[in-house]
């Protein structure tokens, strides 16, 4: 019984720990998933600062970190309404996402 009380107290304590940025991040993710992306400009650069590409429109962005030794990547999906029109996977680059 004591163990249950501790678990409940811990759960109640942790629910208040979310920061405003965590909530905003969650809301943006939900908006993107529910509305087939949000208006964004995504720009990718090489490690030396040269622009590789730029995409603008209704875009959903997912950050993939992988396991040990895996190269982090960014999965960019562009939408026209509810239809996917393009998908780009960017790895080993600097990616700037500008939400409008």
- Report pLDDT digits (tens) over 44-66: 999 999 999 999 999 999 988 87
**C-alpha neighbours within 13 Å on the C-beta side of residue 23:** 6
Residue 57: per-residue pLDDT = 95
Smallest CA-to-CA distance from 78 within 94, 91, 90, 60 is with: 60
- Report pLDDT digits (tens) over 59-97: 999 988 877 767 789 999 999 999 999 999 999 899 999
Does residue 73 contact residue 64 with C-beta atoms inside 8 Å?
A: yes
Tokens 């993939």, residue located = 64
- Residue of 25 and 5 predicted with greater confidence: 25
Does residue 66 contact residue 79 with C-beta atoms inside 8 Å?
A: no
Q: What are phi and psi of 46, to 5 degrees?
A: -70, 170
Does residue 55 contact residue 96 with C-beta atoms inside 8 Å?
A: no
Residue 17: per-residue pLDDT = 56
pLDDT-derived band of residue 19, with 50, 70 and 90 as boundaries? confident
Where is 100: in which H helix or E strand?
none
């Amino acid at each position: 019984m004591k163990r249950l009380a501790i678990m409940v107290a811990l759960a109640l304590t942790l629910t208040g720990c979310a920061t405003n940025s965590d909530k905003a991040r969650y809301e943006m993710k939900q908006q993107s998933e529910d509305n087939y992306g949000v208006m964004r400009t995504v720009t990718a650069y090489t490690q030396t600062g040269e622009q590789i590409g730029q995409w603008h429109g209704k875009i959903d962005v997912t950050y993939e970190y992988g396991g040990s030794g895996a190269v982090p990547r960014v999965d960019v999906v562009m939408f026209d309404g509810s239809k996917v029109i393009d998908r780009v996977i960017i790895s080993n680059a600097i990616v700037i996402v500008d939400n409008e």
